[in-house]
Structure 1
Amino acid sequence: MRLVANIPHEDVRISVFAWNEKFLVKFEKAGMEQTYKIAEMDIPGDGDLEKMIDEELVDTVLEIFHKMGTAWKEARERMDTL
């Protein structure tokens, strides 16, 4: 796996990797991660992948992180009551 880019963002770490004819776009925040796999052939040109990673996508990713954090917290709370 080869690191292609780090995309700066103040709220989340964004890394793009190339591996097996795919791009892996990895978002990381607070010990959690989301990875999206995109076939290289589905990206028409250079720079188009970074254009796809716009604020609307990042906002959605952050909402999912919030839900993931809530789910984990609730699971831990259930364990504490056993």
Structure 2
Amino acid sequence: MRVVADIPNPHVKITLHSYNNKYILKLEKANLEQIYKIEETEVAGDEGAMALLDEDFIEAVVNRFQDMRDAFVSTVRRNS
């Protein structure tokens, strides 16, 4: 897997990879991560893949991280 770019963002760590004719967007926050796989034919190169990271998408990702954290904390509390 080749790292195409580390994309600066104040809310999450974003890394764009290229592997097996796909772009892989890896977004991380604390001990959680989200991965999105995009066929290379669906976007116009590296810039097309990075263009997907608009404000609305990042906001949805951050909200999803909060939901993931809440679900994990809840299960730990129930099962400890």
TM-score, length of structure 2 as denominator length: 0.95
* Cα shift at 1:45: 4.3
Conserved 8 A contact 2:4-2:46: no
* Cα shift at 1:46: 4.6
Alignment of 1:27-66 (within 5 A): 27-66=27-66
* Cα shift at 1:16: 0.3
Identity over aligned pairs, percent: 36
**How many angstroms apart in 2 are the aligned matches of 1:45 and 1:6?**
16
Moved over 3 A (4+): none
Q: 1:14 corresponds to which letter in structure 2?
A: I
Conserved 8 A contact 2:17-2:23: yes
Rg (Cα) greater in structure = 1
Q: Provide structure 2 residue ranges, at least 5 long, that are not aligned to the other structure.
A: none
**In the comparison of the two structures, how many residue pairs are matched?**
80
Q: Provide structure 1 residue ranges, at least 5 long, that are not aligned to the other structure.
A: none
Alignment of 1:7-18 (within 5 A): 7-18=7-18
**How many angstroms apart in 1 are the aligned matches of 2:46 and 2:14?**
18
TM-score, length of structure 1 as denominator length: 0.93
